[in-house]
Amino acid sequence: MKIKFKFLTAAALAVLMALPVLATASEDRSTVNKGISIDDNSTVGDVDSVNGSIRIGANSFVETVDSVNGSIKLDNDVTVEKDIEAVNGSITLGSGTKVGGNVETVNGGIKMENTVVAGDVETYNGQLRILQSSEVSGNVAVRKSKSWWSFSKKRKPARVEIGENVVVHGDLIFEHAVELMLHDTARVGEIIGDDVEMVDSF
């Protein structure tokens, strides 16, 4: 499991090279107290919501996606030039999604299938499901909470699933207890953490 990759695969390189060439995004979409739904085949700038969910339609291109209190869902074959971030909400990425930056959530899970991420995938208080030939160029991490009240609370182990034919070029970094399901065909870097329980299934 201590596998190091010196080079990005052709797929990851293709994403990094293609992103700057894609059409320049048009208007930003922002809201405070309602959700945002982007139609299929759209080109948009930054998409952000304070209190509402965000859905990006298939075959769309956006610059960033950011939600404070709401889930984020991307349909198939969406390209995000930079980061996807959620504070209180889950992130779901459809097949064929390409992300040029990081995918991060604080209080919510992350699920991706056949997705390419050029940066890191991180959560503080959520489940990670990286499935079906997804590829992460950076690290996959479950971080320790920075909230003052969390230090006195015993946290349940986070569930992390690294699925079939998944490639993580960086490391799996776990700063608190996790239950890790690692498929036999997955390739990852080092598994870093003092409290990692390997499980066969959830």
The pLDDT assigned to 146 comes to 65
Pick from 22-26, 28-32, 198-202: least confident: 22-26
Pick from 25-34, 129-138, 155-164: least confident: 25-34
| pLDDT at residue 24 greater than cutoff 90 | no
Burial (CB count within 10 angstroms: exposed 0-12, middle 13-18, buried 19+), residue 169: buried
Task: Compute how many other C-beta atoms are within 10 angstroms of the C-beta atom of residue 58.
Answer: 18
Across the range 3-21, mean pLDDT stands at 44
Alpha carbon distance 160, 162 (integer Å): 7
| pLDDT at residue 8 greater than cutoff 50 | no
Alpha carbon distance 94, 47 (integer Å): 17
| pLDDT at residue 51 greater than cutoff 90 | yes
The pLDDT assigned to 153 comes to 59
pTM of the model: 0.85
Higher pLDDT, 62 or 144: 62
CB 131 within 8 A of CB 113: yes
65: closest CA among 28, 96, 95? 28
Q: For the chain, report the end-to-end CA distance as a whole number of angstroms.
A: 21
CB 15 within 8 A of CB 33: no
What tokens appear for 78 in the block?
A: 């969406």
